[in-house]
Homo-oligomer: A and B are copies of this chain.
Amino acid sequence: VTIDTVAEKAAVSVATVSRVLNNDPHVGAKYRRRVQQAVAELGYRPNRLARGLRRQRSQSIAAVVSDIENPHFAEMVRAVEDLASAAGYRLIVDNTDESPDKQRRYLQALADERVTGLILSPTDPNAGEISMLLDLDIPVVAFDRQVSDPRADAVVADNTRATAMAVRLLIGAGHRDIALVAGRLDTQTGAERVDGYQMAMREAGLAPRIVDGDFRIVGGQEATDALLRDHTPPSALIVSNNLMTIGALRVIRDSGIKVPSQLALVAVDDPFWAEFVAPPLTTVAQPVRRMAEDAVALLLERVSGARTIPRRSVHPFELRIRSSCGTRPA
């Protein structure tokens, strides 16, 4: 049952059926009713492939993230899907694994299928495919990290302030030797978190102490291990994302070191398990759902043409004090 069947049954042209289906106001009430009835009786559903080909746009949006298993992105994707499907769009998910090559292939595929728009947590912010998509009038919203093409919108968190907040909290609790497990300095997020840390440390006249953990579980584990094996281990630790925190917790547990008495801990990111680990983690949390909602809103503004100038929105982190930092909630 295609649009022709409906047209025949309603005794109108396919053009009229199409207009009714797309809520074109210039259709006579009589015709509209006839079409609606035929649609209902036949159980007609428009073929999205045909519509997409004709419009040169598939009714879908994409979330391109490094790894959906990371609770940060799972939360983001969940929110995006909710809003996208409410707006009539289908959701495509791509995992880049932080590989520029995978990102390249996925962005190319999104162009090939004429996606309506995408939310991209970029692995390679300079990729030519980003510009290619924008050239095709496919809006791109950068998430977490910005991209170099100035036509893209962006939704980011204030990473610099995040680690600075963590440092100040620990200084307030009396710590002076505060180390940072950093992640991927070649990413904006990673670099900004280091910046905030260094700034706050210097401001307090303290020496920064940074180990790289690559934003991954194993990296966090090795970095923490290196710090704790040092003959002068730090008294406090900031871990700059949730995956590295898992690695850090593994080392801490295996080494028998007591948190927070022997080592105070503050983690960036607030995954749902943060309050159930031992001890419950003090975190600086990104408002992930709000950021995702913001990203979809920016995307839909572009799609509808309601806005044409690029927008960048910066969300503040939020301090969630639990017990791992050794400071009690007020």
B residues less than 8 Å from A114 (CB atoms): 47-49
Q: Are A112 and B277 in contact (CB under 8 A)?
A: no
Known: A48-B113, A77-B93, A81-B95. 16 other contacts (CB 8 A): A46-B112, A48-B112, A48-B114, A49-B53, A49-B58, A49-B113, A71-B71, A85-B106, A90-B109, A246-B273, A246-B276, A249-B276, A250-B275, A276-B277, A277-B277, A278-B279
**With the chains together, A155 CA to B223 CA distance in Å?**
39
A260 within 8 A of B: no
Q: Within A71-111, which residues are at the interface with B (CB < 8 Å)? A: 71, 74-75, 77-78, 81-82, 85, 90-95, 106, 108-109, 111
Q: Are B47 and A53 in contact (CB under 8 A)?
A: yes
Please give me the 9 A-B residue pairs with the lowest Cβ-Cβ distance, nearest first. Answer: A278-B278, A273-B273, A48-B113, A49-B53, A49-B52, A69-B78, A249-B276, A276-B277, A74-B74
Q: Are B92 and A91 in contact (CB under 8 A)?
A: yes
Minimum C-beta distance from A2 to chain B (A):
12
Q: Are B113 and A90 in contact (CB under 8 A)?
A: yes
B residues less than 8 Å from A48 (CB atoms): 109, 112-114
Interface size band for A: 35 or more
B residues less than 8 Å from A94 (CB atoms): 81, 85, 91
B residues less than 8 Å from A74 (CB atoms): 68-69, 71, 74
Question: Which residue from chain B places its CB closest to the CB of A281 in the assembled complex?
Answer: B276
Q: Are A92 and B95 in contact (CB under 8 A)?
A: no
**With the chains together, A67 CA to B277 CA distance in Å?**
23
Q: Are A68 and B81 in contact (CB under 8 A)?
A: yes
Minimum C-beta distance from A216 to chain B (A):
12
A330 within 8 A of B: no
**With the chains together, A22 CA to B46 CA distance in Å?**
28
Are A273 and B278 CB-contacts (below 8 A) given A52-B49, A94-B81? no
Task: Mark interface residues in A34-78 (1 if CB within 8 Å of B CB, else 0).
Answer: 000000000001111110110010101000000111010011011
